[in-house]
Amino acid sequence: MFLTYLRRELRRRARQAILIALGLALGVGLVITVTAASAGVRNAQSEVLHSLYGVGTDITVTQAAAPGEGGFGGFGFGFGGGGGSGTRPKAGTKINSNRLSTGAYGPIAVTSVTAIGRLKNVAGSAGALMLNDSKISFTVPSFSGGFGSGSPSGRGSFKPPVFFSVAGVDLSTGALGPLSSGKITSGRTFTATDASSDVAVVDADYARQNKLSVGSTIAIGDTKGAGTSFSVIGIVSSPSGTGSNVYVPLGRAQALAGMAGKVNTIYVAASSATEISGVQKEISGLLPKATVTTASSLASEVTGSIASASSLANTLGRWLAIAVLAAAFVLAVLLTMSAVARRVREFGTLKALGWRSRRVVGQVMGEALAIGLAGGIVGVGLGYLGATLVGKFTSPLTASVGQLTGSATPGGARLFGGGRSGSGRFPAGGFPGRFTHAASPTVTVHLIAPVTMGIIGGAVLLAIVGGLIAGGFGSWSAARLRPADALTRVA
């Protein structure tokens, strides 16, 4: 009886039922689209952070360099045939330098890596040495006011400097470290037997730009300005193009940089996601001078269109969805109450025939529930369509991540002091103590708006709730009707 009457009434008032259902479907569809887009932006941001941190890495630990550390210490000219360190080179002297520096990172004892690995809720730890390599070649000009006066009176020559990043990789912890998120596209990766060998794995983008391949050699500097040839054994592709330019065994990097028993970046994996915060506090207690960075703290430093999309989806999108959903609910309530008002004679007659108020309320609620369910199903379809269109027509998002203490050193060009990268000019004020980034590395990610079962379930629940709210107001009006009202309206 209930279902028969329900079906007949919905069919008799099909236009109004369809209008209510479409209103709810529009609100639900927009909620699904906005929620899926927000999830897509979060996933894209996680992809960027994942690229920086490496597979399985939850926390990175670094320490700021002390004054005078990390740079080149003033660039003495005792290298490449230029006389003793601190002496003035003669005009026409050819200077060749290939030096390593640690940049903004300060040294951390390898024993700290072991100590962190022993902490409770730490699944693993690995040390790495992130370095900057600079190759400089020039002929010293003559200076009328003495060297360093900045007033050259004779011609010299200066080749554009070459800068690239080098990462020393701990070969005993392949699941963690700067190479963990890369994929070997040619050749091979390191093995335990490479620990003391002059072999290197090169980033695919850097190899393409410099015409390097498996079997090529690349010169890596040291603290004295000399260069050591490394044989390229593999080409690695890092996610989104982040990572260092060249990877070498940690022991060889320590030897070249004069940092035996030292690292400057520690990668840490927690036993579970819920333990990351606790592990972060323990590491801070163990190394009070270190900077302990997690993915959540690094996320605030990500800028670019991905940040704009996140702000749009989380602020404007959310309030727009709420406004449309609220409007759909109000529309459903008003139309349902209007329908009940037009059925005064019907409900009054039914109550005169013996229907209790509870049965009338149940009938109205049943109709509203059916309309809400139909609106939810249609809304899921609209939401799927909206999410698909967002993923198809949204331009690729870009994310810029600056050089952050606590993050892996990204690849890319470096500035030599105040000069422009590759400009072939001496920087004003002489040689500085360290390199800085020419620009923050830009990562490009494609937005995919995922529609999960949780989103679908929540959307259908919203539609049903909207129908029940509308039915609740309508049934309240129907329950107040008296049989005498029906008799006064019968022709």
344-352 vs 357-393: helix axis angle to the nearest 10?
A: 140
Contact (CB, 8 A) for 451 and 315: no
List the Cα angle 134/410/308 in 5-degree steps.
140
Q: How far apart are CA 461 and CA 456, in angstroms?
A: 8
* Dihedral in degrees, nearest 10, Cα atoms 229, 233, 238, 244: -20
pLDDT of residue 311: 64
pLDDT of residue 180: 80
pLDDT of residue 142: 65
pLDDT of residue 423: 33
Over residues 343-388, the pLDDT tens digits come to 666 666 666 677 777 777 777 788 788 888 888 889 889 988 988 8
**Which pair of structure tokens corresponds to residue 88?**
């003035």
Contact (CB, 8 A) for 439 and 410: no
Q: What's the length of the chain?
A: 491
Residues 91-101 as b/e (b if ≥16 CB within 10 A, e otherwise) read bebebbbbbbb
Q: Do the strands 157-158 and 199-203 form a parallel or antiparallel pair, or are they unpaired?
A: unpaired
End-to-end CA distance of the chain: 27
* Dihedral in degrees, nearest 10, Cα atoms 5, 9, 10, 14: 160
List the Cα angle 288/291/295 in 5-degree steps.
135
pLDDT of residue 217: 94
Q: How far apart are CA 445 and CA 461, in angstroms?
A: 32
Question: What ranges do the domains of the chain cover?
Answer: 2-43+307-397+448-489, 64-289
pTM of the model: 0.57
Residue identified by tokens 């809304």 is 379
Nearest Cα to Cα of residue 357 among 480, 471, 472 = 480
Q: What's 482's DSSP letter? A: -
Contact (CB, 8 A) for 475 and 365: yes
Q: Which residues of the chain have pLDDT under 50?
A: 72-85, 146-151, 153, 402-440, 490-491
**Which pair of structure tokens corresponds to residue 100?**
């390593």
How many Cβ atoms sit within 10 Å of the Cβ of residue 347?
25
pLDDT of residue 425: 33
Helix, strand, coil share of the chain (percent; to 5): 45, 20, 35
